[in-house]
Structure 1
Amino acid sequence: MEVIGWIIAIAMFIIAFAGLVFPIIPTALFIVGGFLLYGLIDTFEGMTIWFWIIQVLFVILLFGADTLSNLVGVKKFGGSKAGMWGSTIGLLIGPFVIPVAGILVGPFLGAVIAELVVSRSGVKQSVKTGIGSLVGFLTSVVTKGLVMVVMIAVFIFFIK
């Protein structure tokens, strides 16, 4: 049963990492789902209260990384709340409208359009905000990827 548990857990982890590129996939849900399915199929024996406390803290960090990175990226480059919302909407829609490149183009265009339309910023400032949203998104992807790797390493440490 352990092998089946590992296969399912690894499949869940792979889907979670796909969520770094397709933000519609809830990365934290799939990582924790991998832990829970492994436990249900094999055993929860190594998953102590300390394991779950650590993992909950990492899940909070995952959620915070998304919001904070986007906020800091847009604000650092002089953007408004509209730019931040535009970036978020572009991030969700971009990959579906423009496959592959949409993950980068979406947040950029979303921030630029929001700044132009809602905040009535000039073109130069709107593009600067778009670049900030892109920097924030890429920072978020790297941060979330590292946190997910650490979560899986903690999982392996506790169950072995």
Structure 2
Amino acid sequence: MSTLILIFAASLAVVGIVGCFMPVVPGPLLSYCGVLCLLATDAPPSMTTLVAFGAATIVVSILDYVIPMAGAKRFNCSKMGTWGAAIGTIVGVFFFPFGLVLGPFLGAFIVELIVKKSVAAAALGGIGALLGFLASVFMKMLLCVGMLAYVIFG
């Protein structure tokens, strides 16, 4: 029975890693559920481990919304451009895999052009949105890979 639980926990952690690239899939939460599955095994994780991974999951989930907007703002993207990046990210899911990278950039770029910014300023806002999105994905990946490693190697 323990082997089945480990396989299920590892599967959740792997789906969590895939979810890091998909804005609508809660990757870190799924990976954390994989860690929680280990409670039903012969060698459950310590309370410290559960709290640490749980807190990291909450923090990363919050930062997942903050970092892309901060990246766009850092490159002087307007509030409307930031919304364009968010919408571009969601639309980009439907054009996997290139849409995931181009979506935030194009969303911010197009909205910035509509808001009457120059092409250079719009491109800069789009680059900021893209860099913020990539930083967010990287952060989620680090956490999810760490949880997968914990599930596998304990």
TM-score normalized with structure 1 length: 0.84
Matched AA of 1:150: G
Q: 146-155 or 16-25: which moved more? A: 146-155
Per the alignment, do residues 88 and 18 of structure 1 end up closer, same or farther by CA in structure 2, a change over 3 Å counting? Answer: same
Is 1:129 the counterpart of 2:125? The answer is yes
Is 1:46 the counterpart of 2:50? The answer is no
What is the Cα deviation at residue 57 of structure 1? Answer: 1.5
Is 1:18 the counterpart of 2:18? The answer is yes
What is the Cα deviation at residue 102 of structure 1? Answer: 0.4
1:16 and 1:49 mapped to 2: Cα distance?
21
Q: Is the 8 A contact 1:5 1:39 kept in 2?
A: no
1:126 and 1:78 mapped to 2: Cα distance?
9
| Aligned sequence identity (%) | 32
Structure ranking higher on relative contact order (CA contacts 8 Å, 6+ apart): 2
1:57 is matched with: 55
Matched AA of 1:147: L
Matched AA of 2:74: K
2:6 and 2:147 mapped to 1: Cα distance?
15
Unaligned runs of 5+ in 2: none
2:9 and 2:150 mapped to 1: Cα distance?
14
Q: 78-87 or 9-18: which moved more? A: 78-87
Runs of 4+ aligned residues of structure 1 deviating over 3 Å after TM superposition are 151-157
2:134 is matched with: 138
Unaligned runs of 5+ in 1: none
TM-score normalized with structure 2 length: 0.87
1:82 and 1:115 mapped to 2: Cα distance?
7
